[in-house]
Amino acid sequence: MDVKNVEPGDPELYFNRELSLLEFNRRVLEQARDTDTPLLERLRFLCIASSNLDEFFEIRVAGLKQQVAFAAAQSGPDQIPPALQLRAISESAHALVEEQYRVLNDELLPLLENQSIQFHRRSQWNAKQASWVRRYFNRELMPVLSPIGLDPSHPFPRILNKSLNFLVSLEGKDAFGRNSVVAIVQAPRALPRIINIPESHASGPHEFVFLSSIIHAHVDDIFPGMRVNGCYQFRVTRNSDLFVDDEEVEDLLQALEGELHQRRFGDAVRLEVASECPEEMRTRLMHEFNLLEQDVYSCSGPVNLTRLMAVPDMVDRPDLKYPPFQPGRLLRLTRNSDMFEVIRRGDVLLHHPFQSFTPITDFLFQAARDPDVVVIKQTLYRTGPDSAIVKALLEAASRGKEVTVVIELKARFDEKANIDLATRLQEAGAHVVYGIVGHKTHAKLILVVRREGKQLRRYVHLGTGNYHADTARLYTDYGLFTSDSTIGVDVQKVFHQLTAPGRTGKLKKLLHSPFTMHRTVIELINREAEFARAGKQARIMVKMNSLSEVQTIDALYAASMAGVRIDLIIRGVCALRPGVEGVSENIRVRSIVGRFLEHERVYSFHNDGTQEVYLSSADWMGRNLFSRVEVAFLIEDKRLRQRIVKECLNNYVADNTHAWLLRSDGSYVRSSPGSSRPRNAQQRLLDALAD
């Protein structure tokens, strides 16, 4: 595509969000091919790519299909109509799925077999294994399977979202004289998709069989007296985006509970079917789910690759996994267990997963048990099962503290867990609210108010990621503890705004979506452009998950044209097109895909030598800047500011092993060290910060 002589606002200057998201998934899949990655971790990356694709269809493709169905003319700055987006998505996604199964069958499975980790096909079972499989089928599967023959009194059953199903072709008459030709077998979700063959029946330590292989092998037993001509796996992906009109419902929690049930049976958006399925059977499924040919994906293996995620945990082979690590503890926190005293002496910055998440739970438990603490307030987006954070809040409430928790019920795919969490906290005596109608609460905040002598002091934690101990070992995020009085008042105002009507006034130190963040970010970008026009050094460095908000992109283009050097470290979606002559020549975009999911948001502006660095919960996307409650906080401590720039910006810009560089045509090319010394940003942080 020729993008010369274009100006901001021209559709050719913006990449399509959905296609950019698929490109990110392609980079994840490439990790499954990377021979420098431990073998079982390569399998994990394959599963992550499959899981990402599931969510992409459930949410993004589903939304586009709804736009087409209702003749909506919505499109992004690239101006590609929804119908054309769906065609382009289909072409890209089909190639991606084909590559997934090629990587599985041609690369990973042979390599796993070389390591005595085998997945036996039916044709490979010896007599002893076949006998064990039959016993397993009769004992564990036959009692829970509910085959349904399709005839006038047995219509096509409702197929659960992403469930494993089999379309069976039959011949013959049953006991009632019915001549059924097609039946459906649904595999209950409780059944394991991968079964470990007992050592007594295996020739090696790690031998597995797929549930689908067992059902295929004994499908005749499910239909006694009938002749089975074929048995074909299939899976349907459905629209899983919950629709609840916040302004029309009286009780958001109750409305969401009702909507969650419907998620399992939303409109079909994708059909995955075994590659050997005959055309007429495939067509029958297409018609049943009202799908087009472009919505059908042939699978040369299990129709749900995500279920292979269980394998690394079933195989005790540390040599085929990433080396374990122990998150580091700050010396200040190990020498003094009194979190309040440590925070009073100076701001504390934690970089997860390289540094421990434990100080956050320690902080909350200390607050729960301290008789001088009177108030605890926290936002919760995702927490995970058996959360220590939640236990601390429950204990605080049971001890009579004034506990207020803002729970985002509409955290995608965590709605059920958050509904249960809200109920538990309310039963313990905590005040639970669900934020602002029409605006997700995405800010990560804790406020503790403590009586110290004759005054009340506010202690605050602000983060870029969720209060979730499990993801804190997988996602890169920053967290800041501070007792800065102005920030404390700002955070208190945010909580008042979330829980009660009224106007809290302008915040002094926090940028705040949907009010001041977007405007201020544009002003900060424009300020760098003015410095550049004045002949001064100007630099912008940003790290975040996604960049798609058009006004922000246009401001970056204008800054680039003014001469500002701009480095963008964007993990996923990037709608900005770098390297366009006369527009974005000064912008470099890179994506880091490695052991940990890059998740922190960092904004850095040179500011004529007085550098300003913000940490934030917000990406530069329309939803974050206009439709969510988000905060960004300035790092005022010079030492911490320099540390962030070194760790999270310069370190990642220098990465030449896991960095992907975005080219002006929309493709990504992987960085290579060449003759230079290899630099792995995540490993350097592990070496520097972990124990």
CATH level 3 topology of 513-689: Endonuclease; Chain A (3.30.870)
**What is the C-alpha separation between 394 and 404, in angstroms, rounded?**
11
Determine whether 442 is an active site residue: yes
Q: What is the pLDDT of residue 225?
A: 87
Contact 84, 67 (CB under 8 A): no
- Residue 62, pLDDT above cutoff 70: yes
Say whether pLDDT at 448 is over 50: yes
Query: Which band of pLDDT confidence, cut at 50, 70 and 90, is reported for residue 412?
Result: low
Distance separating alpha carbons of residues 108 and 116, to the nearest angstrom: 12
Q: What is the pLDDT of residue 533?
A: 97
Pairing of strands 402-407, 268-274: unpaired
Do 331-508 and 513-689 show the same overall fold? yes
Residue 243 has pLDDT above 50, yes or no: no
Summarize the confidence of residues 313-318 as an average pLDDT. Answer: 96
Q: Count Cβ atoms below 10 Å from residue 53 Cβ, excluding itself.
A: 25
Q: What is the mean pLDDT of the segment spanning 10-21?
A: 95
**Residues forming a β-bridge with 459:** 448
pLDDT of residue 259: 46
Query: Among all chains, which residue has been given the structure tokens 């406020």?
Result: 447
Q: Tell me what pLDDT residue 618 has.
A: 97
Q: Give the pLDDT mean for 312-317.
A: 95
Instruction: Please state whether the predicted TM-score (pTM) of the whole model is above 0.85.
Output: yes
Whether 529 shows a pLDDT value over 50: the answer reads yes
Average pLDDT over residues 504-530: 95
CATH superfamily of 331-508: Endonuclease Chain A (3.30.870.10)
- What does the pLDDT read at residue 176? 64
Residue 437 confidence (pLDDT): 75
Contact residues for 373 (Cβ-Cβ < 8 A; gap 6+): 367, 396, 401, 448, 449, 450, 451
Residue 172 pLDDT class (50, 70, 90 cuts): confident
Q: How confident is the model at residue 246 (pLDDT cuts 50, 70, 90)?
A: very low
Q: Taking 90 as the threshold, does the pLDDT of residue 240 lie above it?
A: no
- Burial class of 670 by CB neighbour count within 10 A (0 to 12, 13 to 18, 19+): middle
Give the pLDDT of residue 415: 65
Q: Which of 206, 351, 442, 658 is catalytic?
A: 442
Q: Is the peptide bond before 147 cis (omega within 30 degrees of 0)?
A: no
Question: What pLDDT, on a 0 to 100 scale, did the predictor assign at position 35?
Answer: 96
Name beta bridge partners: 266: none
In this model, does residue 181 exceed pLDDT 60?
A: yes
Q: Is the pLDDT of residue 68 over 50?
A: yes
Among 90, 106, 120, smallest CA distance to 32 is for 106
Pick 74 or 675 by higher pLDDT.
675
Q: Classify residue 193 by its DSSP letter.
A: S
The whole-chain average pLDDT of the chain stands at: 91
For residue 570, pLDDT over 80 is answered with yes
Q: Which of 47-56, 97-106, 188-197, 409-418 has the lowest mean pLDDT?
A: 409-418
DSSP for residue 62: H
Domain ranges of the chain: 11-320, 331-508, 513-689
Give yes or no for residue 366 having a pLDDT over 70. yes
Count of beta carbons in the 10 Å neighbourhood of residue 414: 19
CA–CA distances in Å: residue 430 to residues 366, 392, 489, 497, 499: 17, 12, 22, 18, 13
Q: What's the pLDDT at 253?
A: 46
Q: Regarding the domain delimited by 11-320, which CATH topology (the fold level of the hierarchy) does it fall under?
A: polyphosphate kinase like (3.30.1840)
- Average pLDDT on 559-570 reads 98
Angstrom distance (rounded) from CA 475 to CA 245: 32
Dihedral of alpha carbons 47, 264, 427, 434, sign:
positive
- Reported as a pLDDT band with limits 50, 70 and 90, residue 264 is low
Q: What is the mean predicted confidence (pLDDT) over 251-260?
A: 46
Of 158, 157, 160, 153, residue with least CA distance to 180: 153
Decide if pLDDT at 235 tops 60.
Answer: yes
Residue 563 clears pLDDT 80, i.e. is over it: yes
Residue 382 above 60 pLDDT? yes
Six token digits for residue 288: 């049943």
- Closest alpha carbon to 27 in 674, 473, 570: 570
Across 423-490, where does the E strand assignment appear? 431-433, 440-441, 444-452, 455-463, 475-482
For residue 502, name the pLDDT band (cuts at 50, 70, 90): confident
* pLDDT value, residue 177: 66
Structure confidence at residue 71 (pLDDT):
79
Res 414: pLDDT: 57
Which pLDDT does position 245 carry in this prediction? Answer: 41
Average pLDDT for 174-192: 83
Residue 175 has pLDDT above 80, yes or no: no
The mean pLDDT of 465-476, rounded to a whole number, is 94
Q: What is the dihedral of CA 490, 495, 499, 503, to 10 degrees?
A: 10
pLDDT of residue 270: 97
Whether the pLDDT of residue 265 is over 90: the answer is: no
Q: What percent of the chain has pLDDT over 70?
A: 93
Residues paired with residue 455 on neighbouring β-strands, in sequence order: 452
- pLDDT tens profile 143-159: 999 898 887 667 888 89
The beta strand positions in 531-578, using DSSP E, are 539-544, 565-570
Whether the per-residue pLDDT at 34 is higher than 50: the answer is: yes
Phi/psi for 99 (5° steps) reads -70, -35
> What pLDDT shows up at residue 509?
96
**Which residues 6+ apart lie within 8 Å of 620 measured at CB?**
521, 542, 544, 546, 547, 548, 549, 552
Averaged pLDDT for residues 376-402: 91
- Per DSSP, the three-state class of 621 is coil
C-alpha to C-alpha distances, 249 to 155, 254, 255, 572, nearest whole angstrom: 35, 9, 7, 34
Which is higher by pLDDT, 688 or 180? 688
CB 270 within 8 A of CB 156: no
Q: Are 525 and 555 in contact (CB under 8 A)?
A: yes
- pLDDT for 670 equals 96
Characterize 127-148 residue by residue with b for buried, 16 or more Cβ atoms within 10 angstroms of its Cβ, and e for exposed: eebeebbeebbeeebeeebeeb
**So what's the pLDDT on residue 143?**
95
Q: Would the pLDDT of 1 be above 70?
A: no
Tokens at residue 385, please?
A: 């099962």
| Residue 83, pLDDT score | 93
The closest of 528, 501, 504, 500 to 516, measured between CA atoms, is 504
Selected residue with higher pLDDT from 176 and 38: 38
**Angle at CA of residue 109, ends 324 and 197, nearest 5°:** 85
**What is the C-alpha to C-alpha distance for residues 196 and 171, in angstroms, rounded to an integer?**
33
